[in-house]
Chain A
Amino acid sequence: MTFSSIAYANLRSHAVRTLATLFSVLLAVASFVALIGLARGVEQSLLSALNQRQTDVVITEKGAVDLISSIVDEDLAERIEAFDGVSDAAAELTRMTSLDNGGSAVVVAWHPGAYPWRALTLSQGALPDERAGEAAVVGEAFANRYGLEVGDALRLFHTDFEILGIADSESLLTRNLVMLPLATAQRLTFREGQATAINVRLDPALSQAGKTAAIERLKTGFSEYAVEDIQALATGHTFARIADVLSRSIAVVALLSAVFAIFNTMSTAVRERRGEIAIMNAVGWSRQQIVLLILLEAAVLSGAGGLLGCAAGAGVAHAVAGWDAVSGIVDPAISPRLLAEGLLISIFMGLAGALLPALQTTSLSPASVLRGK
């Protein structure tokens, strides 16, 4: 017999209560893992797409709530391209639109020949040229989801587009994009001469310090715009911040609920077992040993709930990411580190919830408990 076998026996003896508490912990940790994983997934999707395009800096309207609502003059790209340390600049128009079949699409548009087009890897077809009108390149996941092939028609903005090519990418966002020539997208969305952002590629020959200096120069030179490196953009733009704050807030509430559930369970458990705890002290168990046993029970309970919660949270996050409304935008970032955080938090919750009941019970006089029955 060991400490852990005694703890296990105690937990098993109140199976319903143990399972109910385990479920509370499971829900809390699952919420934490799913919400944080999805929020981080939003950041990583954007970062991965920008990396795939070889973009180093994104310039948007200062104060714009998100990338889609930003408006900048497309001619800004030429001024930026002339800047020292800049290799390429491409005006980009981003829109979200609904499809006739009820799905949705993230549409991005660049001038044919702009560097983001060149960074694409096509698995089929070709890129649009200067003469292309209603032509589109779609990501492979988007094509697979809607059964599209090169030469098929895709209806967007009440207009039929011919699919010229299908792009493959490591970036989930890119695999789910619809990419159009800029002029066509501007005309159909009444944004002539406008872009939502300017994508900037710095001179690849620059060192990291050189790139940092170039970004600083861009910030100074274009101080009326928001000039951000892609890491800052992915984590700092309003949508990411809102997603982060919302997910963390909900996760904290869920975690606090679980702490209370464990506190409640352990309070009830030790109150019911006051006599047993007193007899353990009477037969020579020290206060520390008894507190350790109670904490071990809580840690086993919350650890098991945490493990199941991590698995459930990962499953929920992937299920949510598959919903049509967000499909292709969010790739849940369920990293080993996030799962470890979930597990550690669950065990910490267990210990925090059990500590007070454990200390209260072991501070009682064994005699008063044993005689009080």
Chain B
Amino acid sequence: MTGASSIRSFPPKGSISARDLVKTFNRGSTRALDHLDFGAAPGEMTAVTGPSGSGKSTLLYALAGLIDLESGSVSVSGETPRTHAEWTRMRQRHIGLIFQDDWLLPTLTCAQNVELPMIGLEHNQKRRRERVDELLKRVNASDLADRTPAGLSGGERQRVAIARSLANRPEILLADEPTGELDSGNSQIVMDLLTTLSTREKMTIVIVTHDPRVARACGRHFVLCDGKGTYSDLSSETEAS
């Protein structure tokens, strides 16, 4: 493990950094994030690993502004949102989110699910529809456009969820166990998609994972334990494992 500082100097667009994050649960008895620092440069693909309960998902939700912190701040593309409204705007424009459970809305078709984040941002329905077609084609799910999520396989659903996360052209993608419920074949498809986004489109990607294969696909590795985190050298860890 290296002791590299997590706070580095990044160009603003596409960077995400967190400083001195503190988050407790159970009325303060469980410290999920303990004065944690984190940073990812534009285009970087970072794996966040650690044992269960180490605070991995909490970190991801903190980076997305989905939880209230006791202290600390998160900067996204050079901005530091504070209020719920500022975070909502940030997620709408700069951050794409992928979850272990795809959380597709069952009452909408796959195309409508992908279109969902664009409501309120892109008012031209034709342009929205073109963007949806483009995204579904990109994740190889064009044939699923008019189907509802109910009849889809886990891999198909996750591909649609990835398309949804890209709807508003975010610079940053945060993924919480995106392959957690997929078989190895579908896991590979999803990781290929994410790797392509990082390498070709310079998208900043942070992936919370238990899967060493997913972690190995990432350029950087952030290990969490008891709410504290450090960067590790992937090659040495791979050898050790």
Residues of A with Cβ closer than 8 Å to B? 1-3, 5-6, 9-10, 12-13, 275-276, 278-287, 289, 365-368, 370-371, 373
Contacts and interface: CB of A to CB of B under 8 A. Distances in A.
B96 to A, nearest CB: 8
B64 A282 contact: yes
Interface residues of B, number: 35
Which residue, of B88, B89, B167, has the highest number of chain A Cβ atoms within 10 A? B88
A2 B120 CA distance: 10
Nearest to A282: B97
Contacts of A285: 88, 92, 116-117, 119-120
Contacts of B167: 283
A283 B68 contact: no
Given A10-B107, A279-B105, A284 B88 contact: yes
Contacts of A280: 105, 116
Nearest to A280: B116
A10 B116 CA distance: 14
A289 B115 contact: no
Contact of A284 (B57, B93, B128): B93
A128 B117 CA distance: 82
Given A3-B119, A283-B97, A370 B103 contact: yes
Nearest to B97: A282
Given A12-B107, A13-B106, A373-B101, A282 B115 contact: no
B164 A287 contact: no
Contacts of A5: 112
A284 B107 contact: no
Q: Tell me if A's interface is mostly helix, strand, loop or mixed.
A: helix
5 contacts: A279-B99, A282-B64, A284-B168, A285-B116, A370-B61
Contact of B67 (A281, A286, A365, A373): A365
Interface in B74-94: 84-85, 88-89, 91-93
Interface in B113-167: 115-117, 119-121, 125, 128, 164-165, 167
Nearest to B62: A367
A227 B105 CA distance: 68
B103 to A, nearest CB: 4
Given A275-B103, A282-B66, A365-B67, A287 B116 contact: no
Contact of B121 (A281, A284, A365): A284
Contact of B103 (A9, A279, A367, A368): A279
A367 B108 contact: no
B103 A276 contact: yes
Given A1-B115, A1-B119, A6-B108, A281 B103 contact: no
B117 A283 contact: yes
Given A365-B66, A365-B67, A287 B105 contact: no
A276 B107 CA distance: 10
Interface in B2-58: 57-58
Nearest to A277: B105
A367 B61 contact: yes
Nearest to A7: B107
A276 B67 CA distance: 17
Nearest to B61: A367
B88 A13 contact: no
Nearest to B164: A283
Given A1-B119, A3-B119, A367-B67, 8 more contacts: A276-B103, A280-B116, A283-B92, A283-B116, A284-B121, A287-B84, A287-B85, A367-B66
Contact of A1 (B91, B112, B121): B112
Nearest to A14: B107
B103 A284 contact: no
A285 B97 CA distance: 13
A278 B121 CA distance: 18
Contacts of B66: 281-282, 365-367, 370
A10 B112 CA distance: 13
A367 B85 CA distance: 16
A286 B97 contact: no
Nearest to B117: A283
B158 to A, nearest CB: 14
A370 B61 CA distance: 10
Contacts of A286: 85, 88-89, 120
A16 to B, nearest CB: 15
Given A365-B67, A367-B61, A284 B91 contact: yes
Contacts of B61: 367, 370-371
A287 B89 CA distance: 11
Contacts of B112: 1, 5-6, 9
